[in-house]
Amino acid sequence: MTLCLCHKIPERSIRFFGIEKYLCSRCLGIIFGIICGMSFQYLGLSISLMNMLILSLPLIIDGITQAIGIRTSNNYIRIITGFLFGFGIFLGIKI
């Protein structure tokens, strides 16, 4: 799902060995967070809805403040906020 929604803006994408990947840094963080969340959920860990929302807040705040021009984000922040979002959302979903 993330791959379909990724905007693939070149300056927001991660380069490995000079080759640009087709995934922005935020989406990459979300995917890593989901994978990590799957591992933790497999071990029996889950979180409450409130904690899921708290882990989602950094991504929401980063995205909104960048979109309205208050500040400029960078790829490191995008990866971290994406990871927290993916991790929180996946652990918040009780499968």
Q: So what's the pLDDT on residue 55?
A: 94
The C-alpha angle with vertex 78 and arms to 77 and 81, in degrees rounded to 5, equals: 80
Question: Could you tell me if 62 and 77 are in contact, meaning their C-beta atoms sit under 8 angstroms apart?
Answer: yes
CB 88 within 8 A of CB 51: yes
Q: What is the pTM of this model?
A: 0.79
Give the residue ranges of the chain where pLDDT is below 50: 1-3
Q: What is the reported pLDDT for 1?
A: 42
Please list the residues that pair with 15 across neighbouring strands.
20
Asked whether the CA dihedral 22, 25, 28, 30 is positive or negative, the reply is: negative
The pLDDT of residue 7 is 61
